[in-house]
Amino acid sequence: MRNGKMALVTGAGGFIGHHLVKYLVGHGYVVRGADLKYPEYEDTKADEFLIADLRDYNQCLRVTKNIDEVYHLAADMGGIGYISAFHAEITINNTLINAHTLQAAQYHEVKRFLFSSSACVYPQHLQRNPDVVPLREEDAFPADPEEGYGLEKLYMEKPLPQRLRSAWHL
């Protein structure tokens, strides 16, 4: 039975995204998926799937229209080799994806916005030991994230100053 809520999953073509789509559909959501590519692992369960480049604000406006909740997983992320070699490109792409998606969601008065971060935000020295200990949010500071993807994720999740929150009505 559908609960009447319309959810958008950005990055719905990825591994986590396609699983989240299935979960939300199973919990009664009408789901729109959006990604640069169709899911690689299995056919999408989304009610609607849009191919969209979320670096483009107009495409963000298109995918967020008539949405109640955004689950924002989209990112330019191609594995550790890629994120270690292309810091500037990844930072620019992900900043555009995040800022445009957030701004379009605000424009369309989306009620909830979930931003997905990454373990790459945590200081690198905490992740080098093979005897891994669970990381906590407070472990992110003092900061020493992976220099491209991790740094971009960290500054995007930092709370906005009140003057910007007020301007964006967040």
Cβ-contact 64, 42 below 8 angstroms: no
List the one residue out of 93, 82, 106, 92 whose CA is nearest residue 167. 106
Is residue 149 part of the annotated active site? The answer reads yes
CA distance 45 to 20: 10
Cβ-contact 9, 73 below 8 angstroms: yes
Active-site residue identified among 23, 57, 149, 155? 149
Cβ-contact 160, 98 below 8 angstroms: no
What are the residue numbers of the active site?
A: 149
